[in-house]
Amino acid sequence: MTVLRIETPKVFAPLLNPSRYKGAHGGRGSGKSHFFAELLIDDSLCNKGLRSVSIREVQKTLKESSKRLLEDKLIQFGLNEADGFKVFNEVIQTPGDGIITFQGMQDHNAESIKSLEGYHRAWVEEAQSLSARSLSLLRPTIRAEDSELWFSWNPRRKTDPVDMMLRGELPTGATVVRANWSDNPKFPMVLEQERLDCLRMTPEQYDHIWEGGYASVMEGAYFAKHLAEAKAQGRIGKVAPDPLLALRAFVDIGGTGQRADAFTIWIAQFVGKEIRLLNYYEAVGQPLATHLEWMRSEGYEPGKLSIWLPHDGSTQDKVYDVSYQSALQKAGYAVEVVPNQGKGAAKARIEAARRLFGSMWFNGDKVQPGLDAIGWYHEKKDEARNIGLGPDHDWSSHGADSFGLMAIVAESIAGSTNTQKPIEYKRRYIA
The one-letter code for the residue type at 265 is I
Q: Quick one: pLDDT at residue 420?
A: 42
Q: What is the pLDDT of residue 341?
A: 75
Q: What is the pLDDT of residues 149-192, one digit of tens each?
A: 999 999 988 889 999 999 989 999 999 999 999 999 999 999 99
User: pLDDT by residue (tens digit) across 207-245?
Assistant: 889 999 887 666 678 898 898 889 889 999 999 999 999
pLDDT of residue 380: 78
Q: Which residues of the chain, if any, have pLDDT below 50?
A: 318-320, 416-431
User: Which residues are bridge partners to 151 per DSSP?
Assistant: 23, 124
Give the burial class of 333: count Cβ atoms within 10 A of its Cβ; 0-12 exposed, 13-18 middle, 19 or more buried: buried
pLDDT at 228: 82
Burial 117-140 (b: 16+ CB within 10 A, else e): eebbbbbbbbbbbbeeebbebbee
pLDDT value at position 393? 83
Rounded to the nearest 10°, the torsion over CA 265, 167, 119, 82 is: 130
CA dist., res. 41 & res. 324, Å (int)? 63
CATH 3.40.50.1970 is the classification of domain 236-413: no
pLDDT at 394: 87
What's the pLDDT at 424? 41
CATH of domain 10-183: 3.40.50.300
- CA-to-CA separations, 189 to 34, 176, 207, in angstroms, rounded: 17, 27, 19
Domain ranges of the chain: 10-183, 236-413
The pLDDT of residue 257: 55
